[in-house]
Amino acid sequence: MDAVKVIEIKKSVYESNDREADKLRAELKAKGIFLLNLMSSPGSGKTTTLKSVINKLKSEYRIGVMEADIDSDVDALTIARETGVKSIQLHTGGMCHLDAGMTRQGLDELIDSDIDFAILENVGNLVCPAEFDTGATKNAMILSVPEGHDKPLKYPLMFSICDLVLINKIDVMPYFDFDMEACKKNILMRNPKATIIPICAKTGEGIDEFANWLREEISKNR
Amino acid sequence: MDAVKVIEIKKSVYESNDREADKLRAELKAKGIFLLNLMSSPGSGKTTTLKSVINKLKSEYRIGVMEADIDSDVDALTIARETGVKSIQLHTGGMCHLDAGMTRQGLDELIDSDIDFAILENVGNLVCPAEFDTGATKNAMILSVPEGHDKPLKYPLMFSICDLVLINKIDVMPYFDFDMEACKKNILMRNPKATIIPICAKTGEGIDEFANWLREEISKNR
Q: Are B125 and B41 in contact (CB under 8 A)?
A: yes
SS3 assignment, position A202: coil
Sign of CA dihedral A94, A98, A101, A106: positive
Question: B35-65: per-residue pLDDT in tens?
Answer: 999 999 999 999 999 999 999 999 999 999 9
Is pLDDT at A135 greater than 50 in this prediction?
yes
Q: How far is B144 from chain A (nearest CA, A)?
A: 9
Q: Which residues of B touch A124 (CB under 8 A)?
A: 41, 126, 154-155
Measured N-to-C along each axis, helices B100-110 and B17-30 cross at an angle, to the nearest 10 degrees, of 30
Q: Which residues of B touch A41 (CB under 8 A)?
A: 41-43, 124, 147
> How far does Cα A39 stand from its chain's mean position?
5
**pLDDT at residue number B117:** 97
**pTM, full prediction:** 0.93
Task: Please name the CATH architecture into which domain B20-210+214-218 falls.
Answer: 3-Layer(aba) Sandwich (3.40)
Is pLDDT at B1 greater than 50 in this prediction?
no
User: Given an 8 Å threshold on Cβ–Cβ distance, is B74 in contact with A153?
Assistant: yes
Q: What is the DSSP letter of A163?
A: S
A74 φ/ψ angles, rounded to the nearest 5 degrees? -65, -35
In three-state form (DSSP H/G/I as H, E/B as E, the rest C), the secondary structure along chain B is: CCCCEEEECCCCCCCCHHHHHHHHHHHHHHCCCEEEEEEECCCCCHHHHHHHHHHHHCCCCCEEEEEEECCCCHHHHHHHHHHCCEEEEEECCCCCCCCHHHHHHHHHHHHHHCCCEEEEECCCCCCHHHHCCCCCCEEEEEEEHHHCCCHHHHCHHHHHHCCEEEEECHHHHHHCCCCHHHHHHHHHHHCCCCEEEECECCCCECHHHHHHHHHHHHHHCC
Mean pLDDT of all residues in A161-167: 98
Is pLDDT at A50 greater than 60 in this prediction?
yes
Q: Which residues of A touch B96 (CB under 8 A)?
A: 96, 125, 127-128
User: Given an 8 Å threshold on Cβ–Cβ distance, is A146 in contact with B43?
Assistant: yes
A39 φ/ψ angles, rounded to the nearest 5 degrees? -125, 160
3-class SS shares of chain A: helix, strand, coil, % to 5: 45, 20, 35
Residue B45: how many other CB atoms lie within 10 Å:
25
Question: B99-133: per-residue pLDDT in tens?
Answer: 999 999 999 988 777 899 999 999 999 999 999 99
Of residues B69, B147, B172, nearest to A42 (C-beta): B147
